[in-house]
């Protein structure tokens, strides 16, 4: 770790050294224009280098990151003005250095460019501005990268939260069906009824769907219907003559898909909250597909007092629909005096 830090600092120092050597060459050739004494120009450039370096480093390591980037504009203007005043003073000192030590107090012997304060200041501030612009670009790219990483983390967190919420909602299927079916199977087993093996097979298929297939993002609509039929068959064995269920599945596209366990809870809700009317619980189910749309409706006899609250089950289904099919579904629920009806239109794309 220490080795990497030292290596990084060494590379940074080397790059800075190379850059300032290039700036020195630039100053030397820039101010040497029209002057015969190259050594004097080099000495002047060397004298000018600390001023340029100090002004540049104050700009990129203090003014820009501490004031401009943090939107402390007033302080940025104030301290930039102070920096400008000090640097101008030092540039004037460099001109006097050229006059006193290089030209021997002879103004005519001075390099025409080095006696012009505006040109000298232009050379210094051109370097400061270029380096500052590069620093701003670098900070902007770094900020954009950090923002992108933060957005990615937020999206990943939201996705995990949605997955956890979906998993929680999937676990809200009421266990009463399983307990009731096991009790019925126990009774059938005691009677040594012929229907017992068939009940065990259907329950096994349904449990496989509930426990394993539910983890898939999508399943075929035909699979959902098959397990719906198994569920209804098991309830038929339990209710005997007090149940009348009609499942009408027509024009079902073999490629139509939906989230697992999306329709089955509606059927379960009808059995749980449905009421006997004239000695029977009537449930009517219709499923069809048109183009890329799934149409599902279920109606059961009920008493309005028992269905005044749609229940946790239907609320959880609606939450799953919001998470998986936001703006791609239409759910309507009617609760009348004698019937409870659900109509769902789902875009299966």
For residue range 276-318, what is the model confidence (pLDDT) as tens digits? 888 889 999 999 998 889 999 999 988 765 444 455 567 777 8
* Residues in CB range of 31: below 8 A, 6 or more apart: 41, 44, 45, 111, 113, 114, 120, 123
Tokens of 189: 């087993």
- CATH 3.30.565.10 domain span(s) along the chain: 172-347
Strands 293-301 and 257-258: unpaired
CA Rg value for the chain: 41
DSSP label at 242? G
Query: Count of CB atoms within 10 A of residue 162's CB?
Result: 12
Predicted pLDDT at 102: 63
11 phi-psi bin (left φ>0, alpha ψ -120 to 50, beta other) = alpha
Low-confidence ranges of the chain (pLDDT < 50): 174, 306-309
* Cα–Cα distance measured from residue 299 to residue 340, given in angstroms and rounded to the nearest whole number: 6
Predicted pLDDT at 335: 86
Strands 243-250 and 281-290: parallel
Return the CATH architecture of domain 172-347. 2-Layer Sandwich (3.30)
Predicted pLDDT at 283: 93
Beta bridge partners of 249: 287
* Cα–Cα distance measured from residue 293 to residue 330, given in angstroms and rounded to the nearest whole number: 11
Predicted pLDDT at 153: 79
Predicted pLDDT at 308: 44
Tokens of 97: 């250095």
Residue for token digits 């002879």? Answer: 106
Of the candidates 72, 60, 53, which has an alpha carbon nearest to the alpha carbon of residue 124? 53
- How far CA 318 is from CA of 16, 163, 288, 322, in Å, comes to 61, 15, 20, 6
């Amino acid at each position: 770790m220490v080795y990497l830090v030292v290596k990084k600092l060494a590379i940074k120092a080397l790059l800075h050294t190379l850059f300032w050597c290039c700036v020195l060459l630039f100053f030397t050739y820039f101010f040497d224009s029209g002057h015969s004494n190259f050594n004097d120009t080099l000495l002047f450039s060397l004298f000018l280098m600390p001023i340029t370096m100090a002004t540049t480093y104050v700009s990129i390591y203090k003014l820009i990151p501490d004031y401009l980037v943090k939107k402390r504009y007033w302080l940025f203007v104030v301290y930039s003005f102070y920096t400008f005043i000090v640097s101008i003073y030092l540039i004037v000192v460099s001109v006097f250095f050229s006059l006193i030590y290089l030209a021997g107090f002879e103004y005519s012997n001075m390099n025409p460019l080095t006696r012009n304060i505006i040109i000298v200041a232009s050379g210094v501030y051109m370097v400061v501005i270029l380096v500052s612009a590069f620093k701003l670009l670098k900070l902007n790219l770094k900020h954009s990268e950090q923002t992108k990483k933060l957005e990615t983390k937020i999206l990943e967190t939201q996705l995990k939260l949605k997955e956890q919420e979906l998993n929680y909602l999937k676990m809200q299927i009421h266990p009463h069906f399983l307990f009731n079916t096991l009790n019925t199977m126990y009774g059938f087993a005691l009677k040594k009824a012929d229907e017992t093996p068939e009940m065990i097979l259907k329950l096994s298929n349904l449990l496989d769907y509930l426990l394993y297939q539910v983890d898939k993002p999508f399943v075929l609509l035909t699979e959902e219907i098959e397990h719906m039929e198994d569920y209804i068959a098991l309830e038929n064995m339990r209710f005997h003559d007090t149940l009348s269920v009609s499942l009408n599945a027509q024009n079902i596209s073999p490629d139509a898909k939906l989230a697992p366990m999306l329709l089955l809870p509606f059927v379960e809700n009808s059995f749980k909250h449905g009421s006997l009317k004239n000695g029977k619980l009537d449930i009517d189910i219709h499923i069809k597909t048109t183009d890329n749309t799934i149409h599902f409706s279920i109606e059961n006899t009920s008493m309005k007092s028992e269905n005044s609250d749609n229940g946790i089950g239907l609320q959880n289904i609606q939450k799953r629909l919001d998470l998986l099919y936001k703006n791609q579904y239409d759910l309507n629920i009617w609760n009348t005096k004698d019937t409870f009806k659900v109509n769902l239109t789902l875009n299966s794309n």
